[in-house]
Amino acid sequence: MSGRDEPLVGRVIEPLPNALYRVELEDGHRVLAHPAGKARLQAVRILPGDRVQVELSAADPGRGRILQRLG
């Protein structure tokens, strides 16, 4: 149940409490995102400045899931 058909790319601006991250998308919008289960299980370390792939929520476009960190 994704909000969009294809994931968006953004840059992590800052880490927040409770495993949340503020992410600025390439189009300039800012969203709150948390790591998806697969990224969390693989213990992917997400730092400010990292490029990430984000899937937006269908219910709330201001929130999403970080699918993966991009190289």
The pTM score is: 0.85
Band of residue 3 on the pLDDT scale cut at 50, 70, 90: low
The class level of CATH for 8-70 reads: mainly beta
Q: How many Cα atoms within 13 Å fall on the side-chain side of residue 34?
A: 9
> Do residues 5 and 56 make contact, with C-beta atoms less than 8 angstroms apart?
no
What pLDDT was estimated at residue 56? 96
**Predicted confidence (pLDDT) per residue in 15-60, tens digit:** 999 999 999 999 999 999 999 987 777 777 899 999 999 999 999 9
Q: Where are the domains of the chain?
A: 8-70
pLDDT at residue 6 is higher than 70:
yes
pLDDT of residue 47: 94
